[in-house]
Structure 1
Amino acid sequence: MSDDLGYGWQGDLIDLPAYLKRVGHDGDVAPNEETLRALHRAHTTSIPFENLEIMLGRPIDLSLDAVQAKLVEQSRGGYCYEHNRLFAAVLERLGYEVTALSGRVTVGARKLLPSTHALLHVRPPGQRKDEAAWLCDVGFGAGPLEPLRFRDGEEVDQDGWVFRLQQGRTVTTWSPNTVGWELHQRGPDGWVQRHTFTMNEQFRVDFEVGNHFVSTNSHSPFATRPFAQKFRVDSLHVLDGTNLTVRRPDGSTASTSTLTPEQLPETLAESFGIVLDNDDAPRLVDFVRANPKR
């Protein structure tokens, strides 16, 4: 029976064969560290990050049926709440211990932002509590390729993409005793803090609250322009409004270009694997024409 109280991730309702086909995983699914690494890598390199439903005038539905229909059955993607809603259900179905967390994005931020990035704390079944668990971050759009161990200061090189988890004080001024974690990524100029988070457990209802803010609030960057990312082992494609950038694993820029609104549907299909329905393509073009990037 699925969880109707909102504590679990409804793993019994996941269409596991369809998900595995979508991400291209045909290996073992025994709930261990090797499977977790493989599924994380397969997910992040197969299902793109995108916020296009907002531009198309539709709400972001986090019900498992809706997320599966969009991210698994269609050639579409989603943002962190959708990705981790799906991944949590898959991992729960396989037998992992899954706890959701909430992160505060700091990279590129000019001021304190709300905690609106979904993350997952994951343990394989039977793992001892004194062993380091794993941070799964399949919904950021820019990796990591594989989960990261909760080991303070450990640097991990994943095919040239380099990450580091470290403990720190999340907001030193107002909550000096709140010790959390920071995720850093190495770029061309050194380490960059990507986001911070504490270990306070989140539930499906918390995803709903964060999702509402991100998708509807005028101060949310995702409510103002199209944003998409396609993460590959050797590159990251980023569409921000009409600006297309390709980055290398070391953080350097491989290419940049500016698109016309009319080029967006074709570029989304070719570079991101996002195929819009016939009615949605002109709707997106019209939105971008009427709302140039600010």
Structure 2
Amino acid sequence: MWSGEELDLDAYLERIGYGEGGGTGDRELRPDLGTLYAVHRAHTAAVAFENLDVALGRPIALDVKAIEAKLVHGRRGGYCYEQNSLLAAALERIGFEVSGRGARNRTRGDSLLAVTHAVLVVTVDGEPWLCDAGFGYQGPLEPVPLARPGAEVRQGEWAFRVREEADGVLVLCALRAGTWRDLYAFSPQHYHPVDYVLLNHYSSSHPGSSFVGRVVVQHPGGPVRRSLVGRRLVRLHPDGRTEEQAVDPDGLLDVLDREFGLRLPERDAAELVAIHRAGD
């Protein structure tokens, strides 16, 4: 389903630094829980969430080779459809059972938003796990169990849990400053790659999309999570504290490199700075 046979798995594992410092890269890749954790954790640590092609007015291709060229060989980031399509292809290639879901963002208060977020459910030994490398700086670093609703999962200094609502709807929640906050909700309905093509078209081109017309770059890894939206750079700490600073056009490329590990070709960089400056 996810075209895993087309993925250069060795190049992907090298891109995410699989096994670096932990020795896991020396053991055989198998569709077990240890491998799932290790691959998910390495991916979220290495690949930034970003919409820079959308900001530049360029189409987002979701075929595996296009995603591989951009995120793996080009060492770029991507947003949820790219990130989780790449993760799905890698996990499928390793031998995991992977299915897609469509989720509603709940981080914007009581507003009812359309289903625009792509997540994955991976089944290991009959137990389903939520996998998501594409929710930006608020998302999980590792798989979250779905068979035990309400159970708190610690991921370093961060905590997550899944609660169940009516009609089988599951909600991923994060602990912030002592309060559980909804991140997104998803139903049992299976989504396929072709469904993400439609959602991607809206997210990358519709004037109402939060990704159109501004730079969005985020990273969930490490003890401090980072988010650049427009000209506002935010650092989120586990205790709920935030630090904010303005990023002017002259400092944009330095922030992308220093905070998110992103370096663009000279022409793309100049165009992005010009777009950022035009927002004055």
Structures share a fold, TM > 0.5?
A: yes
Cα distance in 1 for residues equivalent to 2:101 and 2:200: 14
Give the counterpart of 2:158 among 149, 156, 161: 161
- Report the equivalent of 2:16: 23
User: Alpha-carbon deviation of 1:179?
Assistant: 2.9
User: Alpha-carbon deviation of 1:249?
Assistant: 2.4
- Report the equivalent of 1:275: 263
User: Alpha-carbon deviation of 1:110?
Assistant: 5.2
Give the counterpart of 2:186 among 189, 197, 203: 197
Aligned pairs (5 A) from 1:95-134: 95-109=95-109, 111-124=111-124, 127-128=125-126, 132-134=127-129
Give the letter for the 1:152 counterpart.
Answer: P
- Report the equivalent of 1:231: 220
Deviation track 1:221-244 (CA, whole Å, cap 9, x = no partner) reads 111210011222211111010111
User: Alpha-carbon deviation of 1:40?
Assistant: 0.6
User: Alpha-carbon deviation of 1:219?
Assistant: 0.8
1:88 aligned counterpart, secondary structure:
helix
Deviation track 1:16-52 (CA, whole Å, cap 9, x = no partner) reads 1101001111323211000100111100010000001
- Report the equivalent of 1:246: 235
Q: Is the 8 A contact 1:145 1:233 kept in 2?
A: no
- Report the equivalent of 2:207: 218
Query: Normalising to structure 2: TM-score of the pair?
Result: 0.94
User: Alpha-carbon deviation of 1:189?
Assistant: 5.0
Q: Is the 8 A contact 2:105 2:117 kept in 1?
A: yes
- Report the equivalent of 2:172: 183
- Report the equivalent of 2:34: 34
Q: Is the 8 A contact 1:228 1:240 kept in 2?
A: yes
Deviation track 1:183-225 (CA, whole Å, cap 9, x = no partner) reads 0001115111000000101111100000000011111111121
Give the letter for the 1:240 counterpart.
Answer: V
1:209 aligned counterpart, secondary structure:
helix
Deviation track 1:90-126 (CA, whole Å, cap 9, x = no partner) reads 00000000000010001124521110111101013xx
Aligned-CA RMSD value:
1.2
- Report the equivalent of 1:46: 46
User: Alpha-carbon deviation of 1:287?
Assistant: 1.1
- Report the equivalent of 2:74: 74
Q: Is the 8 A contact 2:81 2:134 kept in 1?
A: yes
Q: Is the 8 A contact 2:168 2:188 kept in 1?
A: no
- Report the equivalent of 1:10: 3
Tell me whether 1:149 sits opposite 2:142 in the alignment. Answer: no
Give the letter for the 1:244 counterpart.
Answer: L
Tell me whether 1:59 sits opposite 2:59 in the alignment. Answer: yes
Structure 1 regions of 5+ residues with no counterpart? 1-7, 170-177
Q: Is the 8 A contact 1:186 1:250 kept in 2?
A: no
Give the letter for the 2:114 counterpart.
Answer: P
Give the letter for the 2:244 counterpart.
Answer: T
2:228 aligned counterpart, secondary structure:
strand
Cα distance in 1 for residues equivalent to 2:160 and 2:58: 35
Give the aligned length.
Answer: 271
Q: Is the 8 A contact 1:187 1:252 kept in 2?
A: no
